[in-house]
Amino acid sequence: MEETDPRARKSYHHGNLREALAEAALKLVEEKGPLGFTMAEAARLAGVSPAAPYRHFRGREELIEEIARQGFEIFADRLERVVDDPLLSALTAFSMAGQVYIDFARAHPGHYAAMFESGIGLAGDPGLARASDRAMAVLVRLAERLMAHLPAARRPPARMVANHVWALSHGVVELFARGAPGSRAPYSAEEMLESGTGIYLRGLGIVPQ
């Protein structure tokens, strides 16, 4: 007789199978990585038959896409709380976006892995593409707000600035915030990101030297 996975859900409510499978897959991604589990394992952990996942997902890639979509939504929610905070200056809000990225990667390792380490593409899933675009749109808003004081002719493209800071944040997370290879550096991920962002913004003339 097949043993029941002790992590498996005891039951799920009717109509909630999709969420139960995504929850199970998220746990597996955290344990084994986005490519280290099978649909059968996700089904077993959700407490359903091996055939049940295919009512909602054509395969593992679609299941990972759902986890990634959830991750982008969580990330965008966190960014929007920063951009909508009336007590934060434009520079503080923009700088905090990088900290949001670090905090998200640490608090949601499964979502982060599905978003950036699974090899999925955005084009094949409209919901995933919308969620990713939403997160980027918040960063663009932050960049526009930060540069509003500059004459239009001197303003760098806001999307370029947003993309650069996203790339910088991602690099810092990968090298300094996730255990290797920079975990033994004499400075924290937060210090690396703050100094890098400051150098970048001063180099563009967005903030004073």
**Same structural domain, 33 and 124:** no
Q: Is 12 a member of any domain?
A: yes
pLDDT of 174 over the 70 cut: yes
pLDDT of 4 over the 60 cut: no
What is the Cα–Cα distance from 90 to 170, expressed in whole angstroms?
A: 21
User: What integer pLDDT is reported at residue 176 of this predicted model?
Assistant: 84
Bond from prior residue into 86 cis (ω within 30 degrees of 0): no
**Number of domains the chain is built from:** 2
**Same structural domain, 45 and 88:** no
User: What integer pLDDT is reported at residue 37 of this predicted model?
Assistant: 93
**Same structural domain, 29 and 77:** no
**Same structural domain, 53 and 93:** no
**Same structural domain, 97 and 183:** yes
- Mean predicted confidence (pLDDT) in 84-104: 92
Domain that holds residue 110: 65-203
| Listed residues 39, 57, 75: the one ending a domain | 57
Residue 97: name the closest of 112, 84, 110 by CA: 84
Q: Is 195 a member of any domain?
A: yes
- Residue 181: what residue type? P
Q: Is 209 a member of any domain?
A: no
- Mean predicted confidence (pLDDT) in 94-123: 91
**What's the pTM value of the predicted model, to 2 decimals?**
0.86
- Residue 198: what residue type? G
Centroid of chain to Cα 20: 21
Band of the pLDDT at 158, cuts 50, 70, 90? very high
Could you give the residue ranges of the DSSP H alpha helices within the chain? 17-32, 39-46, 60-83, 90-107, 109-116, 126-146, 158-172, 189-203
Q: Which two structure tokens, joined as six digits, stand for 169?
A: 């944040």
Which of 38-42, 61-65, 97-101, 175-179 is the least confident region? Answer: 175-179
Q: What is the CATH number of the domain that holds 34?
A: 1.10.10
User: What integer pLDDT is reported at residue 1 of this predicted model?
Assistant: 36
